[in-house]
């Protein structure tokens, strides 16, 4: 008997059908020689700081850093019942081995091993590593199960990533929050991503546009344009000089050019195009892809590769044939698939480029919802484009002279549409109006014919000259498409050529990073744009460069990859993370008091009687801003609690000014009545002690007389 543990119920059910586990039980499926259960994603996660020590319930700077000596796991909300089921299965004596069938990647390894270690099971582990949920792929995967030990480095990398995120998130967030008195959430990857948004927005807002001019010469369907001219009078002079005159062709350059087809989709590229075509967010696209994968329509989507292996190439012809047949595109696409363009064994590590499965071609796509259909259209188009011919064209550049001034134009003549023909066919049938390419094809073709007929020395007369006004443009705000692109290449320019370049996050995590920024209200969507909020800009304004550095975070991703390959120890990586935390705390220690108060909208209550610094009102107390001074007046304290009194702001002000305050509604439990007295504050060794002084009867009479007279 063997046990299979998958990441989700839907995946478990697909596996169970293949290996014959048909009996439904509570939390698992059972067959004659196998059991299949699931994890519901992350069943357990790292415990919050207060789980290690109750003192961490309150955020205090002096309690930092928080670095667990032994990491504790807690059950995720609402998943305790399924965890107990999986734990019991892992302890059964009739199970000879367990198959880790969680998603084939870093997170899948983490999900399984956390549960496995928590159960303290000793059952041998084997690994199912597949890139498709088709029956044939599952059967082949079970025929070639790997020893779980082969993936120990991948697990170590996943542990390091999770621990690093926890350590930086918990420590940096608490450090800067307690330093500035304002909640600032800091993340290992999301903070550098937010930095890119803030820097782009700053450049947009600080951009000073400059005016410049051009002069166009119009002749039939041709427009020749001058270089940019900064001076308006010079442009007007050129316009007047050339208008109605003759232009002579001085130079014609013709160059044969080719554009190679794109590669297959990796996850990030597909997310970018789905955003460009359909305005889907990265997370929406990932959710759609996951559903299609679980329904056996596509191969594993969380991939960073755009290639396939040699042994997979033999199936591409069938896939192309079925796509062409299904879309009825045979009239528009006539070519033999060039599989060599997308085959590279060395560029396929965990998973290959995204493909449509054979199973998908047997299904009725009309039963898919519109979003799933759109993504299937994109993937189908990309497969055909990747295997198509080059796009061949001849580029023509023409220079003319008119009254001593030079003007230029260029165009191209298409010789072979190649992969562009695929996109044209899909755009016509499925993506009409989505990108607007070639909308003016007729006019362009007419213009190219005229260009082809030109020769050096030919006169064009008369030409019409027209001055046009232009402005330099600021950079554009990020869209989901361009942000994903920037995350993918962040920090790359600072690495050696030999260094593996992976940018911020991984293809599987970039969508969630963007969503976290939006959810935390550090960024917001404005139409297709993603822009930082004021809260996000405030966060970036206070952080040191090393906490918001894209290159440092990208380097961490490279180190995690080295851990996966066994080239770097996990201890070395974690030492670097702990050093960063200490650097952050050392930086907070030297922040000037004035800077710490920059977000304080608090009213000054008075002056600290111990050190002379300012005293402000907090949620539970009135405190001295000097961190080294421990003076504090607590609103609720044992001394006042016995008299049913809470220290308010006016009382605190009087105590700080006069060291006493008159209170008229103290309550005596013994006498069951309210009474009046002076609350006195005494300071001993920086600590506050209270006492009562009872006013003389004459003082009370005088006070009553004053109150009566005022009325």
- Is the distance from CB of 652 to CB of 606 less than 8 angstroms? yes
* Bridging pattern class, strands 604-607 and 529-532: unpaired
Q: Which two tokens stand for residue 349?
A: 């590590």
Q: In angstroms, how far is CA 37 from the centroid of its own chain?
A: 31
- Determine which one of 213, 277, 300, 391 is catalytic: 300
Q: Which two tokens stand for residue 635?
A: 């609103």
**Alpha-carbon span 637 to 640, nearest angstrom:** 6
**Alpha-carbon span 331 to 342, nearest angstrom:** 24
**Alpha-carbon span 25 to 82, nearest angstrom:** 12
Instruction: Look at residues 112, 110, 122 and name the one whose alpha carbon lies nearest to residue 153.
Output: 110
- Is the distance from CB of 198 to CB of 524 less than 8 angstroms? no
Active site annotation includes 277: no
Q: Which two tokens stand for residue 448?
A: 């190219």
- Is the distance from CB of 72 to CB of 111 less than 8 angstroms? no
Whether the bond between 384 and the residue before it is cis, its omega within 30 degrees of 0, is no
**Alpha-carbon span 605 to 597, nearest angstrom:** 15
C-alpha to C-alpha distances, 680 to 189, 662, 667, 689, nearest whole angstrom = 52, 9, 17, 8
C-alpha to C-alpha distances, 427 to 298, 302, 334, 343, 392, nearest whole angstrom = 22, 26, 17, 27, 20
- Is the distance from CB of 545 to CB of 555 less than 8 angstroms? no
Q: H helices of 613-687, where?
A: 638-641, 649-658
- Is the distance from CB of 143 to CB of 126 less than 8 angstroms? no
Cα four-point dihedral sign 17, 18, 23, 25: negative
- Is the distance from CB of 42 to CB of 111 less than 8 angstroms? yes
- Is the distance from CB of 19 to CB of 34 less than 8 angstroms? yes
Q: Which two tokens stand for residue 464?
A: 């019409």
**Alpha-carbon span 174 to 176, nearest angstrom:** 6
- Is the distance from CB of 561 to CB of 499 less than 8 angstroms? no
**Alpha-carbon span 396 to 412, nearest angstrom:** 6
**Alpha-carbon span 255 to 536, nearest angstrom:** 49
User: 3-class SS at 428?
Assistant: helix
Report the phi/psi class of residue 171: left, alpha or beta, with left for phi > 0 and alpha for psi in -120 to 50. Answer: alpha
Cα four-point dihedral sign 319, 322, 326, 332: positive
User: 3-class SS at 372?
Assistant: helix
Burial zone of 191 (CB within 10 Å; 0-12 exposed, 13-18 middle, 19+ buried) = buried
Q: In angstroms, how far is CA 6 from the centroid of its own chain?
A: 26
Instruction: Give me the active site residues, please.
Output: 300
């Amino acid at each position: 008997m063997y046990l299979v543990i998958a990441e989700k119920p839907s995946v478990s059910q697909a596996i169970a059908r293949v290996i014959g586990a048909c009996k439904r039980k509570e939390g698992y499926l059972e067959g004659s020689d196998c059991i299949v259960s699931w994890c519901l994603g992350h069943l357990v996660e790292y415990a919050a700081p207060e789980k290690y020590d109750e003192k961490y319930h309150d955020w205090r700077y002096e309690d930092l850093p928080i670095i667990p000596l032994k990491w504790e796991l807690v059950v995720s909300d609402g998943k305790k019942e399924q965890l107990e089921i999986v734990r019991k299965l892992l302890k059964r004596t009739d199970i000879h081995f367990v198959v880790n069938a969680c998603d084939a990647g870093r997170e899948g390894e983490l999900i399984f091993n956390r549960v496995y270690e928590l159960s303290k099971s000793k059952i041998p582990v084997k690994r199912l590593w597949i890139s498709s949920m088709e029956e044939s792929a599952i059967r082949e995967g079970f025929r070639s199960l790997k020893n779980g030990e082969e993936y120990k480095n991948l697990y170590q990398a996943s542990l390091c990533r999770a621990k690093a995120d926890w350590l930086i998130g918990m420590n940096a967030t608490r450090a800067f929050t307690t330093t500035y008195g304002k909640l600032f959430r800091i993340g290992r990857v999301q903070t550098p991503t937010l930095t890119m948004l803030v820097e782009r927005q700053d450049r947009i807002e600080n951009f000073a546009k400059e005016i410049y001019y051009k002069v166009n010469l119009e002749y039939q369907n041709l427009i020749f344009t001058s270089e940019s001219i900064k001076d308006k009078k010079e442009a007007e002079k050129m316009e007047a000089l050339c208008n109605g005159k003759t232009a002579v062709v001085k130079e014609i350059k013709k160059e044969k050019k080719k554009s190679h087809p794109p590669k297959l989709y990796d996850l990030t590229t597909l997310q970018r195009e789905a955003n460009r075509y359909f305005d889907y967010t990265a997370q929406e696209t990932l959710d759609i892809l996951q559903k299609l994968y679980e329904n056996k329509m596509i191969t594993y989507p969380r991939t960073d590769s755009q290639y396939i292996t040699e042994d997979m190439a033999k199936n591409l012809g069938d896939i192309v044939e079925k796509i062409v047949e299904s879309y009825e595109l045979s009239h528009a696409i006539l070519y033999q698939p060039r599989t060599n363009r997308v085959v590279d064994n060395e560029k396929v590590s965990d998973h290959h480029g995204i493909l449509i499965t054979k199973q998908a071609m047997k299904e009725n796509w009309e039963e898919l919802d519109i979003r799933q259909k759109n993504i299937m259209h994109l993937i189908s188009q990309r497969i055909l484009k990747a295997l198509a011919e080059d796009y061949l064209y001849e580029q023509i550049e023409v220079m003319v002279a008119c009254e001593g001034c030079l003007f230029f134009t260029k165009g191209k003549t298409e010789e072979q549409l190649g992969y562009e023909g695929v996109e044209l066919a899909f755009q016509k049938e499925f993506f009409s109006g989505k990108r607007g390419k070639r909308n003016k094809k007729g006019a362009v073709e007419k213009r190219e014919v005229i260009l082809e007929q030109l020769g050096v020395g030919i006169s064009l007369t008369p030409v019409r000259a027209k001055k046009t006004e232009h402005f330099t443009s600021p950079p554009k705000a990020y869209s989901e498409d361009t942000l994903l692109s920037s995350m993918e290449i962040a920090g790359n320019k600072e690495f050696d050529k030999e260094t593996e370049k992976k940018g911020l996050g991984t293809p599987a995590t970039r969508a969630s990073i963007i969503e976290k920024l939006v959810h935390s209200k550090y960024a917001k969507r404005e139409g297709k744009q993603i822009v930082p909020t004021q809260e996000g800009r405030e966060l970036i304004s206070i952080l040191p460069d090393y906490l918001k550095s894209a290159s440092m975070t990208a380097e961490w991703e490279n180190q995690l990859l080295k851990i996966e390959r066994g080239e770097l120890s996990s201890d070395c990586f974690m030492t670097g993370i702990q050093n960063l935390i200490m650097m952050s705390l050392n930086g907070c220690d030297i922040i000037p008091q004035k800077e710490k108060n920059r977000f304080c909208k608090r009213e000054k209550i008075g002056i600290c009687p111990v050190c002379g610094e300012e005293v402000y009102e907090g949620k539970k107390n009135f405190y001295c801003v000097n961190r080294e001074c421990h003076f504090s007046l607590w609103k609720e304290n044992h001394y006042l609690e016995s008299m049913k009194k809470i220290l308010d702001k006016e009382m605190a002000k009087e105590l700080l000014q006069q060291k006493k305050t008159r209170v008229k509604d103290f309550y005596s439990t013994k006498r069951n009545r309210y009474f009046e007295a002076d609350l006195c504050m005494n300071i001993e060794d920086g600590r506050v002690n209270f006492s009562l002084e009872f006013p003389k009867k004459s003082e009370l009479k005088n006070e009553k007389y004053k109150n009566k007279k005022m009325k």
